[in-house]
Structure 1
Amino acid sequence: MVATLEQQVLLRSEVEDFLFEQAELLDEGRFHEWLGLCTEDIRYIIPVRLSRERANGEGNSSTMTHWDDDYAGLQLRVLRLDTEYAWAEDPPSRIRHNVSNVRVRPASEPDEYDVRSNVLVFRNRGDSPKYDLISAKRQDVIRRCETGLRLASRRVVLDHAVLGTHNLAFFF
């Protein structure tokens, strides 16, 4: 069934609102609420970026990742932020997620959408005038559940082969 233009616009608006809500929760450090917007079968991957010639592939490692988490792994990351051992985020970073270029297409499974977006993350720590700007493209699968839209998969493809930030102790 082909969606009408009006249905496509309404769907994109709904998905954008969902992504913007996620960004707000992450910016405000409301990680448990953010995790509540994920499915229990989620896969969250940040592959290591490689600089290589076009003939040698797309430029992402197929074996090395910064993150490769399921729901339990994400839950542990969130729970760790509640402890005194989250030294990389205590005091917490000031983070702003800027989400743009949202594209929504039907996925192979019913009630799922292949969603592509770009994200620019600003991060500042402590009293330092230094800050990090990390640019990436996100490849999400968003699933419609009884409770609303939920993030079922996220692949974050960094634009950086070498990261200038001291750690990746934050979510994209």
Structure 2
Amino acid sequence: MTVKQTDAAPAGAELERACAQFLYQEAELLDDTDYAAWLETCLSEQLEYRIPIRTTRERASGASEFSRTAFHMKDTYASMQMRVHRLLTEHAWAEDPPSRTRRVVTNIRVREPGPGEAEVKSYLTLYRSQWDTTEYDLIVGERQDVLVLESNDWRLRRRVVLLNHTILGTANLGIFL
């Protein structure tokens, strides 16, 4: 289920820096649990957001390890709006108390298929803890994003998160990757 990058040339330094800054700002908003600002400033209204389930396959099969039909999350802008609005109420039991998270975004690679569009691959390591325990979750994967310029600001149009995990060691995915 990987998103194939186009044959676009690698981006110049200015575009690469702008995309990296977008990802860092997004991580900060999410780590600060400022979901309303994340929704308003980072997401395109044409958003496609997917986290396909990873399965174990024998190497010789040649099949993708990622399902085309089963997902941990499969969202649009409208469903993301509902998720965010629910997180801002007392009905988000999986996030009460809120998770303490820290996102580390690395290995950012940018290609430019056309003006006002960027294909961005990055690695994400997410630390998550809740309550007053020593237990924590560590979630690792690659994100394949398409960013678009809308009103002179970069917005996330598409994200596919390819988790390294076949089985998530977290009780729920009440957070955004």
Task: Tell me the TM-score range normalised by the shorter chain.
Answer: over 0.9
Match of 1:23 in 2: 27
1:41-76: CA deviations, max 9, x gaps?
000000001111232412001110011100000000
CA apart distance, 1:145 = 1.8
Deviation larger for 141-150 or 97-106: 141-150
CA distance in 2: counterparts of 1:110 and 1:47, whole angstroms:
29
CA apart distance, 1:124 = 0.5
Among 70, 75, 78, which residue is 2:81 paired with? 75
Q: Which amino acid aligns with 2:144?
A: Q
CA apart distance, 1:147 = 3.5
Matched, 1:159 2:142: no
CA distance in 1: counterparts of 2:58 and 2:112, whole angstroms:
32
Matched, 1:125 2:130: yes
Kindly tell me the number of residue pairs found equivalent between the two proteins.
168
Match of 1:8 in 2: 12
Match of 1:103 in 2: 109
Q: Which amino acid aligns with 1:115?
A: V
Structure 2 regions of 5+ residues with no counterpart? 1-7
With the length of structure 1 as denominator, give the TM-score of the two structures.
0.93
Q: Which amino acid aligns with 2:88?
A: D
Match of 1:47 in 2: 52
- SS, match of residue 111 in structure 2: strand
Q: Which amino acid aligns with 1:67?
A: M
1:136-151 correspondence runs (5 A): 136-151=141-156
Identity of aligned residues (%): 43
Q: Which amino acid aligns with 1:31?
A: Y
CA distance in 2: counterparts of 1:17 and 1:106, whole angstroms:
16
Q: Which amino acid aligns with 2:33?
A: G
With the length of structure 2 as denominator, give the TM-score of the two structures.
0.91
CA distance in 1: counterparts of 2:143 and 2:52, whole angstroms:
11
Q: Which amino acid aligns with 1:19?
A: L
Match of 1:94 in 2: 100
